[in-house]
Amino acid sequence: MLNDLTFDPDGNLFVTDSFAATIYKIPSGGGPPMVWFTDPRLAGNPLFPIGLNGIRIDKSNKKVYVSVTLDPTFNGAIYRLPMVAEPVATDLELFAPLGLTGPDGIAFGKSGKLYVAEAGMNAIKVLNPDGSVDAVYTGAALNPAGLPVPWTNPASITFNDQNGTLLVTNHASLGPYDPRLFVVFDVFVNDKGAPLH
């Protein structure tokens, strides 16, 4: 299940596969995908097979960060790898263990902080460059009519640089179906997005 993607400065595309615990690399201009990295630590749990999920490259272009929503032990985490031609298992580094929070989409701010959509906690967690927690954002939020809308499994995030906010999709798919919850939140974080190359 292909999930998230990001480009490196040379135009190579990196794509996560949530069911295969694999990061593919597609050369600039297109072509067949090649396995760039795979590891059992990036696999999901058989009862909830969404493992490897979000992917971003830090602003120094030296590290690739990935989120694992639920690993085989039902824990989520953020891992990182060096940006090298062929990383090996010993290169995989645990950046932030997140337990049962269900990390999904990730995005770097210009500040160097990593923003993590935590579907299982209905929150956005902001991580400092050392992996410590800087801030946590959560709902409910007001819709244009002024009515509260709960955060329900936030999934994908991106920055709106014009006003220093983070746009957050309300996945709303892990509970009772309610189309009123399928919204995009606009959260003021006083940061801008790092370039996606």
For the chain, the first-to-last Cα distance in angstroms comes to 24
Contact 68/37 with Cβ under 8 angstroms? no
| 3-state SS track over 124-135 | EEEECCCCCEEE
Give me the domain span that covers residue 119: 2-188
Cα separation, 173 vs 44, whole angstroms: 18
pLDDT at residue number 146: 74
In a domain, 54, yes or no: yes
Whether the Cβ atoms of residue 38 and residue 21 lie closer than 8 Å to each other: yes
In this structure, the number of other CB atoms found within 10 A of the CB of residue 116 comes to 30
> Cβ distance 23 to 41 under 8 Å?
no
Question: What's residue 72's pLDDT?
Answer: 87
Q: Is the peptide bond before 140 cis (omega within 30 degrees of 0)?
A: yes
Residue 194 lies in a domain: no
Per-residue pLDDT of the chain (197 residues; tens, 9 = 90+): 899 999 999 999 999 999 999 999 999 999 999 999 999 999 998 888 889 999 999 999 999 999 999 988 889 999 999 999 999 999 999 999 888 789 999 999 999 999 999 988 999 999 999 999 999 998 877 777 777 888 888 999 999 999 899 999 988 776 677 888 888 888 999 999 987 76
Query: In this structure, how many other beta carbons lie within 10 angstroms of the beta carbon of residue 185?
Result: 21
pTM of the model: 0.92
Rounded to an integer, what distance in angstroms lies between the CA atom of residue 175 and that of residue 22? 28
User: Three-class SS of residue 45?
Assistant: strand
Domain count, the chain: 1
What confidence score (pLDDT) does residue 143 get?
Answer: 72
Q: What is the pLDDT of residue 171?
A: 82
Q: Which pLDDT score, from 0 to 100, does residue 173 have?
A: 74
Write the CATH number for 89. 2.120.10.30
Q: Is residue 42 part of a domain?
A: yes
Per-residue burial over 30-56, b if 16 or more Cβ lie within 10 Å, else e, is: eeebeebbbbebbbbeeeebbbbbbbb
Is residue 119 a part of any domain in this protein? Answer: yes
